[in-house]
Structure 1
């Protein structure tokens, strides 16, 4: 039976509803306005590469791009599932190419970048969305260093290697965008997600440094601190089954808004509040996190020998 969410968990997951009202807009189709530009205009003559495109946020983002008439390069491990997503994208008026790749393989990532550039001529928008999450207390990971290695490999190193592979072409064209799908957890730092949060925090820091270097190259780095999303990645966490979460389509609204408005960050207000609280009253936020940690336990799945990849 899932445990009741404690005060800190409620604070974090309540951001889902707040994000819907304040920080996001609906998933776009051609003609729908996102700020100053409609999505179809933002995607005109541009190619978007989306990782983790076979399900969840990545699949929903691909559908939104297709509905707006855009071109999307779909990346994930499952060729069959990618073919299904591509068919849906093309049926809605978009264009799609399929790239089955294991993003934990660095050489495969290099080949992917070369293939995408050769096939499309350019990649204008990179959406680093693929990821994995592990919910386990640090004390239960002392003999499982691979928890951190595997999470960092996909969430951080894969995204960085993709960025390095596509950045030179963006600089040459003097236009591009890198959208890093991070997590609200980077700011709330919920216990038991040390591997996941640390990997996303590393990606956030990389994006900050990169943006300073390419500021005059016409390249924008956007970090999305995504709230809780109802995807297969959170299904093993029983405590999340009864709490609010946004849908993959709503999460894709964050990504499409980022593509249109090209903001530096998209962060729900609760994340901003926790970030400020950590600066001025760190003892209070430590106490809140500890209360949250003490009120729940590692799940049976997290105590098992293997973890389900995202």
Structure 2
């Protein structure tokens, strides 16, 4: 076993989820998952499908969704596909209009767009900001608003698949991504007390780095410890059982508590690194 594997086991310990408990939580309930065609969403759809949840699968790639739905159906589950590009606000609006008729009980906002790009390389790329905000904030908010009335009636749940860095000091090159993820996190957390008072559970999942196709273009991550997609899906599935308000890696809480005290040295270090890069 390599040192990297041991470190990953330490940082991301395995958590088993009771199949019976998951079945009690989702059987007969309609579960919408965005970003369902690959990675975490794909793994999560299989878990919920096998537990008896009625799946509404949303993503851009229709062929992947159809293949996944066929697999789930062949195994005895129920899945419907709704291809939609969350960067296309008109397409999202059309899906939102149809959503009340589908009666989702649980909405899992899993789709995401990551961009790592220096600011000076972004001067003619304002679409980096609009794209990340459309996918990470505006479109999920639109779908949740459309689903909310029925979720209030049925005691539903909203699950936001967020990122650990939302709770950490911002880092260079990630301005568009971190702003969009933080924006949605703040929007949902601000609404959460209102929704909980009406019987809708709100859960924020602050995932660490996950070894998915989204991080593949960033070569820096090749040697960085990361959670596997099935592990991340298991954490999300567990939140459907507990309906807890938040989950984060065990090591994030102390780092988050220390973050205000570390801001000045962190800013000084990142400033030095950027000046060094310009030499």
Normalising by structure 2, what TM-score? 0.89
Matches of 1:213 and 1:15, distance apart in 2: 40
Q: CA deviation at 1:253?
A: 1.0
By relative contact order (CA 8 Å, sep 6+), the higher-ranking structure is: 1
Change (3 A) 1:73 1:295: farther
The match for 2:177 is 196
The match for 1:306 is none
Matches of 1:155 and 1:262, distance apart in 2: 22
Matches of 1:25 and 1:293, distance apart in 2: 39
SS of the residue 1:168 aligns to: helix
1:29/1:64 contact within 8 Å kept: no
Change (3 A) 1:91 1:291: farther
2:32/2:108 contact within 8 Å kept: yes
Matches of 1:207 and 1:218, distance apart in 2: 15
Matches of 2:274 and 2:19, distance apart in 1: 45
Render the CA deviation track for 1:154-199: whole Å, top value 9, x for unaligned: 11001110111101111233x1111111101212333211111111
The match for 1:305 is none
The match for 1:261 is 242
Cα RMSD, aligned residues only: 2.5
SS of the residue 1:241 aligns to: helix
Matched residue pairs, number?
274
Render the CA deviation track for 1:53-112: whole Å, top value 9, x for unaligned: 010111011011112122111001111110111112223332100111122233322332
Query: 1:25 is matched with which residue: 15, 18, 21?
Result: 15
Matches of 2:11 and 2:273, distance apart in 1: 22
Query: Which stretches in structure 2 are left out of the alignment for 5+ residues?
Result: none
Matches of 2:98 and 2:272, distance apart in 1: 49
Matches of 2:250 and 2:256, distance apart in 1: 10
Query: 2:118 is matched with which residue: 129, 132, 137?
Result: 137
Matches of 1:68 and 1:296, distance apart in 2: 51
Matches of 1:281 and 1:30, distance apart in 2: 41
The match for 1:241 is 222
Normalising by structure 1, what TM-score? 0.81
Change (3 A) 1:243 1:292: farther
Matches of 2:126 and 2:180, distance apart in 1: 14
Query: 1:49 is matched with which residue: 18, 29, 32?
Result: 32
SS of the residue 2:206 aligns to: strand
More helix by share: 2
